[in-house]
Structure 1
Amino acid sequence: MNTRTEAGFTHVDQDLYAKAFQLLDPTPEPVTPTVPAAPTPVSVILAAAPPVHRAGPVEKTLSDALAFLDTHGWARFTLIHSEGARCSIGALRAAAGARNAAYRKAGSLLLAEARRRHGKQWKAIPAWNDSHSGPEVRGVWEAAIQRAHHLNI
């Protein structure tokens, strides 16, 4: 095997290169050295990121139902109005898609908030819904969503 170990490069005169570049650019602009920015520690980046909240099934059902009411409208004295608006129970049913555990817990939480704000006499959501104004009903929905968020359900 015949492998060369010598590179065979000729020596370069650095002064010659400096003189050549000076001839090409006789008045070079002064180069100011830049100080590289200090790297940001990863722990600082991670600490600054807000925690990601994933809504539980009850919070999601309540939020989706309120969004449904915002989009299609709120109704009294009927489950579904001819123009698509719904009462609170109708909105819960539309959001849940089925009468599952999230639907039942969301309904219980909504009724509990309604009773907390408007008195213990309310035995069911439809009677409470039909006896209050839109802003009062919306306030209870928002409180129920906040409670579900706080309880992480």
Structure 2
Amino acid sequence: MSTRTETDFTHIDPDLYAKAFQLLDPTPEPTAPAAPAAPAPVSVILAAPPVRLTGDVEKTLTDALAFLDTHGWAKHRLIHPEGPRCSIGALRAAAGARNAAYRDAGNLLLDEARQQHGNQWESIPSWNDSHTGAQVRSVWEAAIRRAHHMNI
């Protein structure tokens, strides 16, 4: 099979395309150069660091600890008549209801209490009532850090 290739090209008038485009778009071409336009303002967009949202568990734990700081911490009572609460009472106040955040925050708090004070603790109230305020606060702070690192 033989393919014949022609190398003779027909000359085309270079103004032909300009004339055709002028017919399609009759906008007159500028006759005199226009004055240079002022440079457009440059917008600088700075990349902001990604926003990290606080998870429901971290928020519940943080709010509960703030509640204890504001109203006081108590032993042997869910709510003391003068306002202080035990750890579970503070969790309930912070969560507002027995929802998933309340349950998960309580589980994380109890797990942290077991890590710091032994596996014998069956519940938050029994652990809360058997320790000092400083020991309880240490567990709260560690639980908040864990929730933060877990992004929950």
Percent identity of paired positions between Structure 1 and Structure 2: 72
**For residue 120 of structure 1, what is the aligned residue in structure 2?**
119
**For residue 140 of structure 1, what is the aligned residue in structure 2?**
139
Question: Does residue 87 of the first structure (1) align with residue 86 of the second (2)?
Answer: yes
Question: Does residue 110 of the first structure (1) align with residue 109 of the second (2)?
Answer: yes
Question: Between Structure 1 and Structure 2, which shows a larger proportion of helix residues?
Answer: 1
* Shift of residue 41, structure 1, vs aligned partner: 5.5
Counterpart code for 1:92? L
Larger deviation, residues 109-118 vs 54-63: 54-63
* Shift of residue 54, structure 1, vs aligned partner: 1.0
SS of 1:86 mapped into structure 2: coil
**For residue 75 of structure 1, what is the aligned residue in structure 2?**
74
Counterpart code for 1:137? V
SS of 2:98 mapped into structure 1: coil
SS of 2:114 mapped into structure 1: helix
Q: How many residues align structurally?
A: 111
Q: Distance in 2 between matches of 1:113 and 1:58?
A: 14
User: Which structure 1 residue ranges, 4+ long, deviate > 3 Å from structure 2?
Assistant: 39-42
Counterpart code for 1:87? C
Larger radius of gyration: 2
Q: Distance in 1 between matches of 2:90 and 2:129?
A: 14
**For residue 10 of structure 1, what is the aligned residue in structure 2?**
none
Q: Distance in 2 between matches of 1:89 and 1:40?
A: 52
Structure-1-length-normalised TM-score: 0.69
Per-residue CA distance 1:104-143 (angstroms, 9 max, x = gap): 0000000000000000000100010011111110110011
Q: Distance in 2 between matches of 1:85 and 1:124?
A: 19
1:3-152 → structure 2 map (5 Å cutoff): 42=45, 45-46=46-47, 49-152=48-151
Per-residue CA distance 1:78-105 (angstroms, 9 max, x = gap): 0001110000000000000110111000
Q: Distance in 1 between matches of 2:80 and 2:129?
A: 13
**For residue 16 of structure 1, what is the aligned residue in structure 2?**
none
**For residue 7 of structure 1, what is the aligned residue in structure 2?**
none
Q: CA RMSD in A?
A: 1.4
Structure-2-length-normalised TM-score: 0.69
Unaligned 5+ segments in structure 2 are 1-41
